[in-house]
Amino acid sequence: MEQKNQNKNKQEIVKKTNEIPKAKGKIIEKTETSQRDNPAAPSEKKPVETPNESKKSEQIKKPETQNKKIKRDEAVVNIQNAPVSTKYSKNICKFIKNKQIGKAINDLEQVLVHKKAIPMRGGVGHKKSAGSFASGSGKYPKDATEYFIKLLKSLSSNAIINGLENSTITEAISNIGQKPRARFGRWKRKRTHIRLVARELKIKDKEKIKEKK
């Protein structure tokens, strides 16, 4: 009897071990059949991108490194409360106007060497290089000419950046600025507002300037 019971127990253990892998195989088959039967079920495959969507994604990722340059017709320099005499600055503006920037710089450099005089009005000594303006009266203002040379160099650099070639000074304006008090308010300092504009002139405009001269 004892041997029969032991044989029965062995047979039951063998049956259980044979049933376990069969169950696993059934579970795997169910999962595969479920995906075939339900095509709308979520799959692990990645979505395929169309060529238009890929181009859009690349455009979004790549930032615009090249900024378009805006072409301008003029170069401008504006200075407020410059430490220059308004009297000298007005006469220098008349001396510079309707000239090319390079020529104006050369003329002002000759003023520093006392080869050319800036024509001026009223109570000023006569200079041969001053021309017929105000009966040949003129001066050699050092500080004002040096300051204007700096402004003209910055104006020429602005013209090059804006793509202007052989630009001429069409506007040269100077006005009285704020006059701050000096030591203990005994006197007022000299301040002026200066505006310089350079443009590329056409042939008709150049002829008009020559007629005015």
CATH number of the domain that residue 161 is part of: 3.90.470.10
Written as one string, the DSSP assignment of the chain is -HHHHHHHHHHHHHHHHHHHHHHHHHHHHHHHHHHHH-TTS--SSPPPPPHHHHHHHHHHHS---SPPPPP-SEEEEEEEEESS-HHHHHHHHHHHTTSBHHHHHHHHHHHHTTSS-EE--SS--B-GGGTTGGGGBEE--HHHHHHHHHHHHHHHHHHHHTT--S-EEEEEEEEE----B-GGGSSB---EEEEEEEE---HHHHHHHHHH-
Structural domain of 135:
74-212
The answer to whether the predicted template modeling score (pTM) of the entire model surpasses 0.85 is no
193 in a structural domain: yes
Number of domains in the chain: 1
| pLDDT tens, residue by residue, 188-203 | 888 999 999 999 877 6
Query: What is the reported pLDDT for 84?
Result: 93
88 in a structural domain: yes
| pLDDT tens, residue by residue, 11-51 | 666 555 555 444 444 444 444 444 555 555 555 555 555 55
30 in a structural domain: no
State yes or no: pLDDT of 68 exceeds 50.
yes
29 in a structural domain: no
| pLDDT tens, residue by residue, 142-189 | 999 999 999 999 999 999 998 888 889 999 999 998 888 887 777 888
